[in-house]
Amino acid sequence: MSIQSERLVPTVDFWAWRSLGACQEHPIELFFHSEDTPRGQRRRNEREAVSICGDCPVLQTCRDHALSTGERYGVWGGLTENQRLRILSRSRSLVSVDDVERRAGERHPISAGIFASDLAGSSD
Ligand code: SF4
């Protein structure tokens, strides 16, 4: 196995937190929409998913993962796709595979202070 392909194989430890997620008990369609999901339904699903995330014991880990890796799709850590896009575009943080591996398990540096400035009154 080459060094490059070793980097692309997630370890059990890297993903272990996901099995503790509150989303495990809910339909995945609430967290990830398809192309043909009507806009209104998508927004309702996102609101419900964000609400579920609010009671999740691994919310911060999930959020840090999503921000650190630039997850583009779905609700992660109580943040919608658009919310993460706004946060990341503002931070202008480009990440590499090395960054992802180094940051795995760490708190994303901009994750701590985003609620007050970025999420007030916004769910999209
Ligand atoms: S924060 Fe949300 S998306 Fe992440 S594991 Fe918890 S319930 Fe699932």
> Per-residue pLDDT tens for 30-87?
999 999 999 999 999 999 999 999 999 999 999 999 999 999 999 999 999 999 999 9
SS3 121: coil
- Check: CB of residue 118 under 8 Å from CB of residue 87: yes
Q: Is 67 in the pocket of ligand 1 (CB under 6 A)?
A: no
Look at residues 4, 52, 3 and name the one whose alpha carbon lies nearest to residue 28: 52
SS3 112: coil
Look at residues 84, 83, 77, 79 and name the one whose alpha carbon lies nearest to residue 23: 77
SS3 76: strand
Q: Is 76 in the pocket of ligand 1 (CB under 6 A)?
A: yes
Q: What is the pTM of this model?
A: 0.71
